[in-house]
Chain A
Amino acid sequence: MRRTVGLVLALVLMAACTAYGSEPITIGAIGAITGSAAMAGEQGFRGIALAEEDINAAGGILGRPVKIIFEDSKGLPTGGVTAVRKLIFQDKVVGVIGCHQSTVVMAVEPLARQEGVILMAKGSAAVITEAGNPWVVRVREYDTLASFAKIQHAVGQGYTKFAIFHNTDQFGEGGRGNLLEALDKFGLKPVAVEAHNTGDKDFTAQLLNIRRAEPEVLIAWTHGDEHALICRQVKQLLPDVVYYGSMGVSQASSIQMAEGTSEGAYSTSPYSYLNPDPDVQAFVVKYEERFGRKPETFSVLYYDSAMMLAEAIRRAGTIDDRSKVLAELKKIKGWKGVSGIEYSFDEKGEAFNQIFVVKIENQVPVIIDKVTVE
């Protein structure tokens, strides 16, 4: 018995030595683990932890193990800059995955350009890829795509009177601009535009101002927990309005927090855990076993980003020339992720050109349509 144990131990150690014999390749990631956006950061952190395991279980990259270092942005631009500086100068990472907040991405983007480090942004504000930074790619649906898809869908249902309710951060302000543009393409103008700050809990004043304008559709552009509170208050104050929400509203956590009041709400999403696609379902099972929760959008996007970056390093055959890794990354076309989306990078660095329209039915987001933009 003791001999068997000893033998197994020796074999395990040998196996470990072959995989971990050399210095690990480091990949950085940032997200908010503390602060008001901590929910999204944690989803990303969990997704990327699974990616690290999967890459190493498959033998690492270029015969070397991979170490993914996740740093807390605290949900603040300053926190993001500190985190990325640490990742670049101390951990010598090939690339940084994140952040999920556009404000943080815009704060760290000059650092990526200056140091020549790949930044796989998860913020959805249009400005991220329009700043012309060659080191920035985006693996997330961007707001122009998402807002256009929503307006197109709503107009298709015959609605013409729209009200916009947005967060005042970069994400929300960008969303407002994109919605106005998308409405303009259909020759429409919103009947009301209202705003709120991150962390606000009571939206009565804004919702009543919106009620005065008598819209058919309310499009809210904000984060998951705020969507939940807004849905609750919309149910009280504007029970007849049709609710379209930015991605956050269709997240499982947000639906649960809304306590039934988000039923019937529409959103667009790069991901739904209900997607019957076997790749998506396999990831759902694995993630749920580990963390006791369904993976959410940032879980799959952080995971997919890490896998694509690993693939790009593999194809480049080196990590010393990061511009070669970047070039290989941008050559990735039709790469199927656990999100269910096929990523194809374009010259601007956008990985997305398609998105699902979802509706919350019986407390789950059901995919009802898919919009592809060429």
Chain B
Amino acid sequence: MAELAIVLQQIVAGLALGSIYGLVALGYNFIFNAVGIVNLAQGDFVMLGGYIYGGTLTLLLGLPFLPALILTAVAMAIFGIVSQRIVYYPLRDAHPRMVMLSTIALGIFLKNISLIAWGTYPVSVPGLFGQRGLRIAGVSILYQYIFILVCVIILLAVQQFFFRKTTLGKSMRAVAQDRLAAMLMGIDAYKVIAITFAYSSTLAAIGGVLLAPVFMVSQVLANVGLKGFAACVIGGWGDITGAVIGGLVVGLVEVFSASYISSVYKDAIVFAILIGFLIFRPQGILGRATEESL
């Protein structure tokens, strides 16, 4: 019985972590779907969202949760538009690799600027639920984790609907597939791309807001970007459901490998699996094989 509770607890922890990685992966996928590039600063966007929400709006200005969340989302949307203007637009005709390099630079810039703006102490905010949780049959679950899971499911549904049913979503996919052709069809590609960055930054902001109460906000928070990246590769680039599934796989692998193989090498194990996917199944679990190079 005690053993069963422990295994259940491990599954809960894996799913909780996994939904966080899935959330980050959704942000990656959104930009990938629209522009065909990987924004390697996605984790830093999450960190920045967390800092704006936790460090500035909650601790400094004392705003309650909902206004703080909305303002963070708005601030990050604006930030997304500005950053695409700086890191993407000037390089729009270059090879996607160049744009990815410039997003790495943006990530380094964000880490350092946040150190100056918010200091070295991790920002800790209780969020809606603090450290409270449920306890069922020896298994404890933080309310915050349930909240994260619910948010991820909602965002997943919204994103699916958005890409499949709305004109803007379809335009985004068209722009990603062939920017020139999309422009010839009368789509304002650069406006669409700006909106893409705005939305993807908003997703990152939500990620930061949801993560702040469980992980605190520090420069290290940007590392969730790496796990989100692994989730995208494992789930399949561009596939929205795949991103969340990939996230859950990464979360579960992390917890179970830490429990039964080595807690010290758990990240190494996750990234070894990532490399395995890149070599043997680059299209991921749900993705379709393509000829295009990243």
Per-residue CB contact flags for chain B residues 258-275 toward chain A (1 = under 8 Å, else 0) read 110001101100000000
Contact B264 A202 (CB under 8 A): no
Asked whether B276 is an interface residue with its Cβ less than 8 Å from the other chain, the reply is no
**A199 touching B223 in the complex, CB below 8 Å, given contacts A41-B120, A205-B10, A205-B263:** yes
Main secondary structure of the interface of A (DSSP, over half): helix
A261, closest chain B residue (CB): B131
- By a CB distance below 8 angstroms, the chain A residues around B214 are 201
B265, closest chain A residue (CB): A197
B216, closest chain A residue (CB): A257
B6, closest chain A residue (CB): A208
- By a CB distance below 8 angstroms, the chain A residues around B115 are 34, 38
- By a CB distance below 8 angstroms, the chain B residues around A232 are 131
- By a CB distance below 8 angstroms, the chain A residues around B266 are 205
Q: Which of B6, B220, B263 contacts A199 (CB 8 A)?
A: B220
Q: Which of B9, B131, B133, B223 contacts A259 (CB 8 A)?
A: B131
Q: Which of A39, A201, A208, A259 contacts B10 (CB 8 A)?
A: A208
Per-residue CB contact flags for chain A residues 13-51 toward chain B (1 = under 8 Å, else 0) read 000000000000000000001111011011000000000
Shortest C-beta distance, B291 to chain A (Å), equals: 38
B123, closest chain A residue (CB): A257
**A38 touching B6 in the complex, CB below 8 Å, given contacts A205-B259, A228-B216:** no
- By a CB distance below 8 angstroms, the chain A residues around B120 are 33-34, 38-39, 41-42
Contact B255 A229 (CB under 8 A): no
Asked whether A211 is an interface residue with its Cβ less than 8 Å from the other chain, the reply is yes
Shortest C-beta distance, A362 to chain B (Å), equals: 17
A197, closest chain B residue (CB): B264
Asked whether B159 is an interface residue with its Cβ less than 8 Å from the other chain, the reply is no
Shortest C-beta distance, B47 to chain A (Å), equals: 12
Contact B122 A208 (CB under 8 A): no
Asked whether B218 is an interface residue with its Cβ less than 8 Å from the other chain, the reply is yes
Q: Which of A205, A212, A229, A235 contacts B258 (CB 8 A)?
A: A205
Interface size range on A against B: 35 or more
- By a CB distance below 8 angstroms, the chain A residues around B264 are 168, 195-197
Contact A225 B122 (CB under 8 A): yes
Asked whether B67 is an interface residue with its Cβ less than 8 Å from the other chain, the reply is no
- By a CB distance below 8 angstroms, the chain B residues around A212 are 2-3, 6
A33, closest chain B residue (CB): B120
Shortest C-beta distance, A208 to chain B (Å), equals: 5
- By a CB distance below 8 angstroms, the chain B residues around A42 are 119-121
Contact B263 A259 (CB under 8 A): no
- By a CB distance below 8 angstroms, the chain B residues around A259 are 124, 126, 130-131
Shortest C-beta distance, A290 to chain B (Å), equals: 15
- By a CB distance below 8 angstroms, the chain A residues around B130 are 259
A257 to B121, CA, bound (A): 10
Contact B267 A36 (CB under 8 A): no
Interface size range on B against A: 35 or more
A256 to B124, CA, bound (A): 8
A194, closest chain B residue (CB): B263
- By a CB distance below 8 angstroms, the chain A residues around B218 are 36, 225
A236 to B130, CA, bound (A): 12
Shortest C-beta distance, B175 to chain A (Å), equals: 36
A197 to B268, CA, bound (A): 11
Asked whether B142 is an interface residue with its Cβ less than 8 Å from the other chain, the reply is yes
A257 to B220, CA, bound (A): 15
- By a CB distance below 8 angstroms, the chain A residues around B9 are 204, 208, 237
A228 to B142, CA, bound (A): 16
- By a CB distance below 8 angstroms, the chain A residues around B219 are 35-36, 38
- By a CB distance below 8 angstroms, the chain B residues around A256 are 124
Contact A257 B10 (CB under 8 A): no
Asked whether B161 is an interface residue with its Cβ less than 8 Å from the other chain, the reply is no
Contact B140 A237 (CB under 8 A): yes
A161 to B112, CA, bound (A): 44
Shortest C-beta distance, B234 to chain A (Å), equals: 18
A204 to B258, CA, bound (A): 9
Shortest C-beta distance, B231 to chain A (Å), equals: 15
Per-residue CB contact flags for chain B residues 229-261 toward chain A (1 = under 8 Å, else 0) read 000000000000000000000000011101100
Asked whether A134 is an interface residue with its Cβ less than 8 Å from the other chain, the reply is no
Asked whether B17 is an interface residue with its Cβ less than 8 Å from the other chain, the reply is yes
Contact B258 A201 (CB under 8 A): no
A259 to B263, CA, bound (A): 25
**A208 touching B259 in the complex, CB below 8 Å, given contacts A237-B9, A256-B124:** yes
Contact A253 B121 (CB under 8 A): yes
A36 to B120, CA, bound (A): 8
Asked whether A260 is an interface residue with its Cβ less than 8 Å from the other chain, the reply is yes
Asked whether A209 is an interface residue with its Cβ less than 8 Å from the other chain, the reply is yes
- By a CB distance below 8 angstroms, the chain B residues around A204 are 9-10, 13, 255, 258
A73 to B3, CA, bound (A): 45
A225, closest chain B residue (CB): B122
13 A-B residue contacts at CB 8 Å? A33-B120, A36-B218, A39-B120, A39-B122, A197-B267, A204-B255, A205-B256, A205-B263, A212-B2, A212-B3, A228-B124, A229-B215, A236-B133
Q: A42-B119, A225-B218, A229-B215 are in contact. List 14 more A-B contacts (CB 8 A).
A: A34-B115, A35-B219, A36-B220, A39-B120, A41-B120, A195-B263, A202-B255, A205-B254, A208-B9, A209-B259, A225-B122, A236-B140, A237-B140, A257-B216
Nearest first, the 10 A-B pairs at minimum CB distance are: A205-B258, A204-B13, A38-B120, A205-B259, A257-B124, A201-B215, A236-B140, A199-B220, A42-B120, A39-B120
Interface residues of B (CB under 8 A from A): 2-3, 6, 9-10, 13, 17, 112, 115, 119-122, 124, 126, 130-131, 133, 140, 142, 214-216, 218-220, 223, 254-256, 258-259, 263-264, 266-267
Interface residues of A (CB under 8 A from B): 33-36, 38-39, 41-42, 168, 194-197, 199, 201-202, 204-206, 208-209, 211-212, 225, 228-229, 232, 235-237, 253, 256-257, 259-261
